[in-house]
Structure 1
């Protein structure tokens, strides 16, 4: 009985505590006149007025124009079939398979996945991470050593598809700190 009374008393106190808590501040809704005034102000002062044209030495649409797909790709060709991979996707080419690079007349193109499955005897893949492909991170030493010894052509892949691997970006050499010689 005692527990029931204390529970009932707690229920009576809770609504009082909620009323004394800080009430959220109320604000007026935006009126139609205020919305109309804001819309008129935006029509008279477009945001593009504040934008300044950027002066560039070279037009980016000309400087960044991509070449055709054949100049940006390496071509594998074998047994009358050919496929494209991005330049710098080939991590290792043994001398025995160097003749399989480049297009041979009369060959038909097929997708990378079809070509790879047909030629698993001489092509293997090495999965790389995005930082490794961007040249921000080096391939592990054991992977580099195994690539150099591989008897197969090794193609870099990212999620199963060929990807270019940029050369490792070297961090700028730290400059020697010069001691500060100042008199107090």
Structure 2
């Protein structure tokens, strides 16, 4: 068993009973090919929870500071996560993300770039649009509906995949593409709150 699969099983065993986790729309997740998974961000537990609920391995972009924490940094690298410098254009992180997609794998992003303090969906950063427009990945919107409180339900919703090819043809900007992606996440949140 890989470390990733072990971690996924551990997260489910530990958190499923505490947060009464429910997963909806798993059938919407493509079984193969590159996928850009974009989710809202309400808690530090979102990456392991969303990753554990996703049917394929997810390579998450994570804030650089996490990789400086002695044991955690090594574990994150071993489960496919990679660092991104927040607040600036991190060319290395962009290259790494594009390689994940080029290799037909799943890249996980929280387009807001940080956790929402009030649970409301914030503005998305252009990175999500950049990856959508620079790859052939299908975009899977994801909504985490909380809050994370013991014995209250946390629900994960995967929406129908979005093909960005028509947006590429129309030559939309990365910011415009991100707005489209955030709208998909917003619709999922509004439908399931």
TM over 0.5: no
Higher relative contact order structure (alpha carbons within 8 Å, sequence separation ≥ 6): 2
Tell me the TM-score normalised to structure 1 length.
0.23
User: Which of these two proteins has the greater Rg computed from alpha carbons?
Assistant: 1
More helix by share: 2
Tell me the TM-score normalised to structure 2 length.
0.22
